[in-house]
Structure formats: C-alpha cells, structure tokens
Structure 1
Amino acid sequence: MKVGIFSDSHDHLDNIRRVVKMFNDLKVDVVLFAGDLVSTFAVPPLRQLNCKMYGCFGDNEGNKTGLKGGFRVLGEIQDAPAQYTLQDGTRVVIVHMERQLNGFDGEFDIAIYGHTHRPNIKRDDQNRLFINPGETSGWTFNAPTIAVLDTETEDVEILPIDMSQPLSSWEEDRRKRAAQASTQTE
C-alpha cells in the first residue's frame, strides 16, 4: 500500500495544493497528516485528494471543531495519539510531537509525527518505524517536504515539494483574473 504523509502545512495554501497534486500524481492509497494545518480555510484544497486522509491535530490548530467538520468529507482528524489500521492491516499511530508517544501503550507498526519541521526516519528498539515527513509549509527552513511510504516493504522516501511547480488551473485562473482586474483599474 502506498501512503502519502505530510505535516506542518501552517496555512501555506499554495504548498497544500502542490502536495495534493503530488499525492494524486503518485497515486497514493491514503494520506496521513501529523498536525498543524492551522485554519479551516486550509481544508478545501485537500478535497481534491483522490483518496481518504487521516490525521491528528497539532499544537497550532485554531478551530478544531471546524477542522473536524471539514475533514468529514476527507476522512478523519482527531486528537493525538490518533490510531488507525490501514486497509492492508498496518497499524499506525499519528501524533504531532514525538513526545506524545511517551507512555502510549497502544500497539502500532508505524508512528507518524511532525512538529520539528525536519524530516526524519528511524526505528525504535522494537523495530517499529518512525516517520517525520518534515514541513509542508517551508516557512521555517525553506525546504518543504513530504514522505511516501510503501507499507509492504516499509521503504520511505522523503520528497521535496517543488516550489516552481505550477499551481492548479483554478489557482492560475484566479491569479490571471486578479492581474487583469488590477491593470483595468490603473
């Protein structure tokens, strides 16, 4: 099963759109999110995903009730630790901060976390996989990334978000209309 993973988008709508395009182009089966979407206006671009999305809240979410409502169409978002069993039986726990796993006694094969804005892949002493996809926003380190996991092989790839990638035609059309409107008023 191919899994798309992202975190810490912090309202960067352009990069959210880029991530959606990347996940759709990669034909991921499900998307997992490790928190800090932040505002409800960041949800609509995610509706273009061709698969379900599951995740947890981060420490910067504004309107959790609104985000939860917006996610009903996408999948589900909940407080950390969020536990999910994927279609192939892989048990996943999603937290925003890795320390939220301290004292967690649930069983899992893979842990997804964010918060540090730095990608990281490691295993614990029980050989469980821990994945931090890095930051989607690029606000902190100007190096936005996502992760893609193959649950069968447990191979993980950290992929950069191409900031030069064109946005959706909807976004391009909106920008053209705005540019035309500004030249007409001059």
Structure 2
Amino acid sequence: MLIGIFADSHDHLDHIRRAVEVFNEADCQLVVFAGDLVSSFAVPPLRQLKCKIVGCFGDNEGNKTGVTAGMRIVGTIGEPPFGFKTPDGRRILVTHMDRSLRGVEGDFDVAIYAHTHKPSITRDEQGRLFINPGETSGWSYGKPTVALLETTTMEAQIVPLKGTRD
C-alpha cells in the first residue's frame, strides 16, 4: 500500500495543490496528514485527492471546527496521537509533535510526526520507521517536501515539491 504523507502546510494553497498532484500521480491509496493545516480554507484543495485522508491537528490550527467539518468530505481528522491499522496490517501512529512519542510503548510499525519542518526518515533499534515529511508550506526553510511510504516493503522517501514557488 502506498501512503502519501504531508504536514505543516500552514495555508500555503499552491503547495497543498502540488502535494495533492504528487499523491495522485504516485497513485497513493491513502494520505496521512500530521498537523498544521491551519485554516478551513486550506481544505478544499484536498478534495482533488483520489484517495481518503487521515489526519491529526497540529499546534497552529486556527479553526478546528471548520477544518473538522471540511475534512469530513475527504476523510477524518482528530487529536493526536492516535493509531490505525492499514488494510495490509501495518500499524501507524500519527502525531504532530515528536515529543508526544517519547516513552511511547506499544505496537506500531510506523510513527508519523511533524512540527520541526525538517524532513527525516529514521529507524529505531526495533526496526520501526519514524517519518517527518518536512514542511509542505516551504515557509520556514524554502524547501517544501512531502513523503511517500510503501507499507509492503516498509521503504519511505522524502519528495521535494518541484514546480513550487515561495
């Protein structure tokens, strides 16, 4: 199963649209959002996704009620951290801030987080993946990125959003 991952879009509509294009071109079967969409007006571009989205709130959501209502059309969003299981049995944990992962015990194969705006893919000693897709917005570092995760092989990659302008 191919999962698209993005976070920290901070209302950058053009980059959200480009992230959707990347996920659709890759034929993602699910998209995971790790927080900081910010405003409800950032939800409509997500309607172009060809798959469902599962997301969590970040620490900069300005209109949780509006974002929640808008996300009902394309998927779900909730308070972090939370977990879910993919159809192929992978256990995914989603949060915004990596500090909420400290001391987390339990069964998960992949932890998706954000907040730092810096892309990162690491494995712990148990072989679990930790993925930060970086910032979709590009506001902080000028290098907008998303991530792709293939759950069958447990391989992930950071994907720059080419063709974006800041």
Whether the 8 Å CA contact 1:55–1:82 is kept in 2: the answer is: no
Question: Stretches of 4+ moved more than 4 A in 1?
Answer: none
Match status 1:112 vs 2:125: no
Structure 1 residue 38 displacement after superposition: 0.3
Structure 1 residue 129 displacement after superposition: 0.5
Inter-partner Cα distance in structure 1 for 2:118 and 2:78: 23
Deviations 1:133-172 (A, max 9, x none): 110000000000010111011111111001359xxxxxxx
Structure 1 residue 46 displacement after superposition: 0.2
RMSD between aligned alpha carbons?
1.2
Pairing of 1:54-133 with structure 2 (within 5 A): 54-133=54-133
In percent, how many aligned pairs have the same letter? Answer: 58
Structure 1 residue 101 displacement after superposition: 1.3
Whether the 8 Å CA contact 2:15–2:164 is kept in 1: the answer is: no
Any gaps of 5 or more consecutive residues in structure 1? 166-186
Give the TM-score, by structure 1 length: 0.85
Q: Which residue of 1 aligns with 2:23?
A: 23
Secondary structure at 2:73's aligned position in 1?
coil
Whose helix fraction is larger, Structure 1's or Structure 2's? Answer: 1
Inter-partner Cα distance in structure 2 for 1:141 and 1:79: 26
Q: Which residue of 2 aligns with 1:179?
A: none
Deviations 1:87-126 (A, max 9, x none): 1111101110111112434421100001111110111222
Inter-partner Cα distance in structure 1 for 2:136 and 2:121: 16
Query: Which structure has the bigger radius of gyration?
Result: 1
Whether the 8 Å CA contact 1:146–1:160 is kept in 2: the answer is: yes
Whether the 8 Å CA contact 2:81–2:94 is kept in 1: the answer is: yes
**More moved, 37-46 vs 98-107:** 98-107
Q: Which residue of 1 aligns with 2:150?
A: 150
Give the TM-score, by structure 2 length: 0.95
Whether the 8 Å CA contact 2:14–2:164 is kept in 1: the answer is: no
Q: Which residue of 2 aligns with 1:41?
A: 41
Instruction: Count residues in correspondence.
Output: 165
